[in-house]
A and B are shown apart, each in its own frame.
Chain A
Amino acid sequence: MKKLITLLLLSIAGIVQAQIDPTLLQNTKIDSTQQRLNMDAVYDRPFLNLGKSPVSVGGYMEANWQYMGTEGVTEGHEFQMRRMTLFVSSSIGKKLKFMSEIEFEEGGNKIVIEFASLDVEFHPLVNLRGGIIMNPIGAFNQNHDGPKWEFTDRPISATQMLPATWSTAGFGLFGKTYKDKWMLGYELYLTGGFDNTVIDNDQNKTYLAASKANFTRFEESASGTPLTTAKIAVRHNDFGEIGLSYMGGIYTTFEDGGEEVDEKRRLNVFALDYNHTLPKWKTYITGEWGWINVDIPNNYTQQYGNKQHGGFLDIVQPIISKKMLGWENASLNLGCRLEFVDWNVGTFKETGYNIGDHLWSVMPAISFRPSQQTVFRLNYRIQQQTDVHDNPAEKTGGFSLGLSTYF
């Protein structure tokens, strides 16, 4: 896989070097902070066109410094290149478009194709998408580009619980329609699904994101059954966008070689997301909340919960928007993120007392955008997390300073 991607990148680099005349490179300017529907996020990215070539390239990067500590214990200064992501898209023909997103993390040690699909438009309300799909559960999974956010860290509920950047191979339909101030969109996909690692992992808790480590999901579904993902989103220009999504299917490998080896166990995920920019103050509000139900064997450890819920709410207030430090459309913003995740909703069988394993976090932020495609952000995290026994919460806090930009 790495070789293939390296060859692909070298090919792109070769094209760019061959077309060294910079006037041939045309910037497709898109203001990524202007929201359409969340489902449009993959179309709502700045790209660089190579002359009249149908191929566009783009991407973003995120780098941070952070100094975090938990009750007197700290890793010290951490300098991180979180990720670099490349977008490659191509208008293959009339109503045929290919888009992809390749992410490099851990200094290139981890390379993942997050998204690679062919979209075929039959009608604005009927589009076929096939390939590697970002399952539209919540909004963050489809709309996770770093430069769009005022916070160095991705929301915990979105990344670890739902989980974000969860993509699978499959097919489905999507479409959108407009009327006056209203906009309605839907998505429906059948894809490969989760696996046993949801309840058998190195996190000691029900953890959907554990299945992301299983790359065979791009070849086969662990259960042999499809994962269904469906989303409907409605937007009104005055009131914002609200999305309702569902993702569910059997996650256990219940048959192997024709032999029954386990029960058919389902997981169901529901999410509600919302975003809006208040017209008067330009205050941007976005958030999502998710609920997860997982069928877990009765005799399994209670460390793995059968219910989870959590979410986040971001409020971002631009305080200065004008020419600053030589940048024409710069802005200075204040923001705050509120987060909560309960990894194990329920009570202990033996005592009836609440099972812990939850966290909350408050993260105030200052961000500076020299342009809408680039953000410098300073955050301070205040977090408390309990263990499964609901013992006194462990307190974590610290600063992070980061930059993120589309290119």
Chain B
Amino acid sequence: MLNSKITIINFILLGSIMLSCEEFLPSEPMESELLDGPIEDLTQAQSAQFLSGDIAFNDELFHSRNGLGPLFVATSCVSCHAGDGKGLPSTSLTRFGQIDSTGNKFLHLGGPQLQNRALPGYTPENIPEGATYSVFTPPAVTGLGFLQYVTDADILALADPEDLDGDGISGVPNWDYIRDFTIPSADAIIRNGKYIHRFGKKASVYDLLEQTVDAYNQDMGITSIFDPKDTYSGLAIDPEVSKQTIRDVVFYLETLKAPIPRNQKDPQVQFGKNIFTQIQCASCHMPKMKTGYAPIEALSYKTFHPYTDLLLHDMGTELDDGYTEGSALISEWRTAPLWGLGLSSDSQGGKYYLMHDGRARSIEEAILLHGGEAENSKNQYVGLDQSEKDDLIKFLESL
């Protein structure tokens, strides 16, 4: 009788554990503390495609048997974009061989991207003699769909190549040719056969399809139907990733949510926001943009807050590596979106590696590296008292 009671009590206890076990699991971090996750209002079918892209981006790891290399930079997307955030110097890539808008003169020697790693038995590339180069740390990949669907007209309206308003800030788009497989947007503005490009540190990439195809090919040595050229042999080979996977990853990148600002009611953050505008940071790091029509309804005609103008600006001699892409000058860089800046260290090993190559080890150091068109803003920052500087940094960390 006693045994039966003990047995029944045990089963009730185990049943209770099974039913309530979710209460004992590690809780989910706050949404605003994470960069990953989809935008709102996706349909069920779109959510399924987002998940397919998520798996390809975050879970698919390449090796020699599924196409890696033989020359490569990384073995997966997530290797460089942990948590969809910025990467570190250890995951950076090197581009070489172009000094002006006449194009890359080292394509026959492996340019523009250095594949500095190789499968065992193969020899990786080295930077050819005479080629200038620049090192790029991986950017965060969140909110890219919003940037994708800003109209060319809106980008062009922000440009001021002749500095007609006399604020010392010009800003120009990166005009370049598009790839064979690229389908330009319906509202594309064309000049001399060239289109406005918007992604990448030099704004040299037209859209997320081009970015994805290039990352598979140049970063991982994975050929696709869009770009079947093997970086080792230089010959066209069978696709190593399916067209559908490429499409899924593009969709994933398009529909990753925009970073969610934090502590927006904190008075220090609000003071910092005012200072950001006062010292003309906002002239390039535009706080607000809007999308035009997008085939994904959840991205159509939306206002968002990227803190970029998607234009190229002369950043001065200190950031001039002597290398460029598209029509950008060697001293010109695309305004980096500041959204998600405060979460950078969560994907950079608890530290900051800012600017195009991670040389800035803090937000302040990044500000002080600004020159050229941003020289005036930097000087105004230097002139702030310490509490104002702290407020500004606090605001930037809240993005």
Chain A interface (Cβ < 8 Å from any Cβ of B): 65, 67-74, 77, 196-197, 199-204, 252, 261-263, 265, 297, 299-303, 325-326, 348-351, 353, 356, 378, 380, 387-392, 395-399, 401
16 A-B contacts (beta carbon < 8 Å): A68-B25, A69-B22, A70-B26, A200-B63, A200-B68, A202-B61, A202-B63, A203-B61, A261-B121, A263-B120, A300-B120, A326-B3, A378-B17, A389-B82, A397-B25, A398-B25
Distance (Å) between the CB of B218 and the closest chain A CB?
A: 15
B90 at the interface (CB under 8 A from A): yes
Expressed in whole angstroms, the Cα–Cα distance for A73 and B25 within the complex equals: 9
- Check B76–A389 contact: CB distance below 8 A: no
Nearest residue, chain A, Cβ from B92? A350
- Check B120–A348 contact: CB distance below 8 A: no
Expressed in whole angstroms, the Cα–Cα distance for A399 and B13 within the complex equals: 13
B351 at the interface (CB under 8 A from A): yes
**Do A204 and B79 form a contact, CB below 8 Å, given A301-B74, A399-B21?**
yes
B192 at the interface (CB under 8 A from A): no
Across the interface, A353 reaches (CB within 8 A) one of B7, B87, B91, B349, namely B349
Expressed in whole angstroms, the Cα–Cα distance for A349 and B117 within the complex equals: 14
B294 at the interface (CB under 8 A from A): no
- Check B26–A71 contact: CB distance below 8 A: yes
On chain B, the residues within 8 Å of A197 by CB distance are: 63
Distance (Å) between the CB of A375 and the closest chain B CB?
A: 15
Nearest residue, chain B, Cβ from A387? B82
Expressed in whole angstroms, the Cα–Cα distance for A73 and B17 within the complex equals: 18
Across the interface, A392 reaches (CB within 8 A) one of B61, B64, B92, B346, namely B346
Across the interface, A200 reaches (CB within 8 A) one of B14, B119, B351, namely B119
Pair count A-B, CB < 8 A? 124
B124 at the interface (CB under 8 A from A): yes
B165 at the interface (CB under 8 A from A): no
Distance (Å) between the CB of A11 and the closest chain B CB?
A: 37
Distance (Å) between the CB of B267 and the closest chain A CB?
A: 28
On chain B, the residues within 8 Å of A387 by CB distance are: 82
On chain B, the residues within 8 Å of A68 by CB distance are: 25
B110 at the interface (CB under 8 A from A): no
Across the interface, B14 reaches (CB within 8 A) one of A69, A204, A350, A378, namely A378
Nearest residue, chain B, Cβ from A392? B346
Across the interface, A389 reaches (CB within 8 A) one of B3, B7, B88, namely B88
Across the interface, A204 reaches (CB within 8 A) one of B61, B117, B346, namely B61
On chain B, the residues within 8 Å of A325 by CB distance are: 3, 6-7
**Do A299 and B116 form a contact, CB below 8 Å, given A351-B88, A387-B82, A389-B82?**
yes
On chain A, the residues within 8 Å of B123 by CB distance are: 299
Expressed in whole angstroms, the Cα–Cα distance for A303 and B116 within the complex equals: 14
On chain A, the residues within 8 Å of B64 by CB distance are: 196, 200
Distance (Å) between the CB of B390 and the closest chain A CB?
A: 24
Most buried by A among B76, B118, B349: B349
- Check B90–A351 contact: CB distance below 8 A: yes
Distance (Å) between the CB of B219 and the closest chain A CB?
A: 11
Most buried by B among A68, A204, A261: A204
- Check B27–A390 contact: CB distance below 8 A: no
Across the interface, B28 reaches (CB within 8 A) one of A71, A203, A262, namely A71
- Check A299–B118 contact: CB distance below 8 A: yes
On chain B, the residues within 8 Å of A388 by CB distance are: 79
Task: Sort A-B residue pairs by CB-CB distance and give the 6 closest, nearest first.
Answer: A72-B28, A69-B25, A395-B26, A350-B89, A262-B121, A67-B21
Distance (Å) between the CB of A371 and the closest chain B CB?
A: 16
On chain A, the residues within 8 Å of B7 by CB distance are: 325
Chain B interface (Cβ < 8 Å from any Cβ of A): 3, 6-7, 14, 17-18, 21-22, 24-29, 61, 63-66, 68, 72, 74-76, 79, 82-83, 87-92, 116-121, 123-124, 346-351
On chain A, the residues within 8 Å of B79 by CB distance are: 204, 301, 303, 388
Distance (Å) between the CB of A205 and the closest chain B CB?
A: 9
Expressed in whole angstroms, the Cα–Cα distance for A204 and B79 within the complex equals: 9
Nearest residue, chain B, Cβ from A302? B90
- Check B21–A398 contact: CB distance below 8 A: yes
Expressed in whole angstroms, the Cα–Cα distance for A350 and B93 within the complex equals: 12
Expressed in whole angstroms, the Cα–Cα distance for A202 and B90 within the complex equals: 20
Distance (Å) between the CB of A65 and the closest chain B CB?
A: 7
- Check B120–A73 contact: CB distance below 8 A: no
Distance (Å) between the CB of B30 and the closest chain A CB?
A: 10
- Check B90–A199 contact: CB distance below 8 A: no
Distance (Å) between the CB of A390 and the closest chain B CB?
A: 4
Across the interface, B120 reaches (CB within 8 A) one of A196, A351, A353, A401, namely A196
- Check B18–A67 contact: CB distance below 8 A: yes
On chain A, the residues within 8 Å of B18 by CB distance are: 65, 67, 77, 399, 401
Expressed in whole angstroms, the Cα–Cα distance for A160 and B346 within the complex equals: 27
**Contacts A72-B27, A301-B79, A326-B3 known; 14 new A-B pairs at CB < 8 A:** A71-B29, A77-B18, A196-B120, A200-B119, A204-B75, A299-B123, A300-B118, A350-B88, A350-B90, A378-B17, A387-B82, A388-B79, A397-B26, A399-B21
- Check A300–B17 contact: CB distance below 8 A: no
Nearest residue, chain A, Cβ from B347? A391
Expressed in whole angstroms, the Cα–Cα distance for A300 and B14 within the complex equals: 49
- Check A389–B347 contact: CB distance below 8 A: yes
- Check A200–B120 contact: CB distance below 8 A: yes
- Check A265–B120 contact: CB distance below 8 A: yes
Most buried by A among B14, B61, B75: B75
- Check B349–A389 contact: CB distance below 8 A: yes
- Check A301–B24 contact: CB distance below 8 A: no
Expressed in whole angstroms, the Cα–Cα distance for A72 and B199 within the complex equals: 33
Expressed in whole angstroms, the Cα–Cα distance for A312 and B68 within the complex equals: 34
Expressed in whole angstroms, the Cα–Cα distance for A104 and B252 within the complex equals: 38
Expressed in whole angstroms, the Cα–Cα distance for A351 and B349 within the complex equals: 11
Expressed in whole angstroms, the Cα–Cα distance for A388 and B348 within the complex equals: 10
On chain A, the residues within 8 Å of B91 by CB distance are: 389
- Check A390–B350 contact: CB distance below 8 A: yes
Expressed in whole angstroms, the Cα–Cα distance for A74 and B24 within the complex equals: 12
On chain A, the residues within 8 Å of B75 by CB distance are: 204, 301, 303
Expressed in whole angstroms, the Cα–Cα distance for A262 and B14 within the complex equals: 55
Nearest residue, chain B, Cβ from A380? B24
On chain A, the residues within 8 Å of B92 by CB distance are: 350
On chain A, the residues within 8 Å of B119 by CB distance are: 200
Nearest residue, chain A, Cβ from B90? A348
Expressed in whole angstroms, the Cα–Cα distance for A73 and B64 within the complex equals: 31
Distance (Å) between the CB of B347 and the closest chain A CB?
A: 6
Distance (Å) between the CB of B356 and the closest chain A CB?
A: 15
**Do A390 and B349 form a contact, CB below 8 Å, given A67-B18, A204-B79, A263-B120?**
yes
- Check B120–A199 contact: CB distance below 8 A: yes
On chain B, the residues within 8 Å of A252 by CB distance are: 120
Expressed in whole angstroms, the Cα–Cα distance for A395 and B75 within the complex equals: 24
Distance (Å) between the CB of A322 and the closest chain B CB?
A: 13
Most buried by B among A262, A302, A303, A378: A303
On chain A, the residues within 8 Å of B349 by CB distance are: 353, 356, 389-391
Expressed in whole angstroms, the Cα–Cα distance for A221 and B66 within the complex equals: 23
Expressed in whole angstroms, the Cα–Cα distance for A362 and B21 within the complex equals: 17
Expressed in whole angstroms, the Cα–Cα distance for A324 and B75 within the complex equals: 55
- Check B89–A348 contact: CB distance below 8 A: yes
